[in-house]
Amino acid sequence: MVANVIDEPSEEIVAAAKQARAQKRGPFAGIILFLKQVIAELKKVVTPTRKELINFTLVVLVFVLIMMGLVYGVDMLFAALVNWVFGAP
């Protein structure tokens, strides 16, 4: 399954960010720092295995089907209630 990893920024990223804040930056230095931090975070991403991906997909599909049934049931209930209160056209 998925390992329990605490998401903390690495020490080198924090040090680079502090150093960049301490120095006077040009207009593009903030953008470059942001992109470096984005790349560092993307390196932490763990792709799921095929089994996990299938399991997650099935869970989402079952949840969507349950929610569709719930919304359909509530819609039919409200439609019947409106027809009872106001009468059929």
> Counting beta carbons within 10 angstroms of the beta carbon of residue 9, is it exposed (0 to 12), middle (13 to 18) or buried (19 or more)?
middle
Q: Show the CA angle centred on residue 23, arms to residues 22 and 28, nearest 5°.
A: 120
| Domain parsing of the chain, residue ranges | 1-46, 48-89
What residue spans of 1-89 are helical by DSSP H? 11-22, 29-42, 50-86
User: pTM for the whole thing?
Assistant: 0.53
The reported pLDDT for the residue numbered 51 is 97
User: For 26-37, what is each residue's pLDDT tens digit?
Assistant: 778 778 888 998
**pLDDT given at position 62:** 98
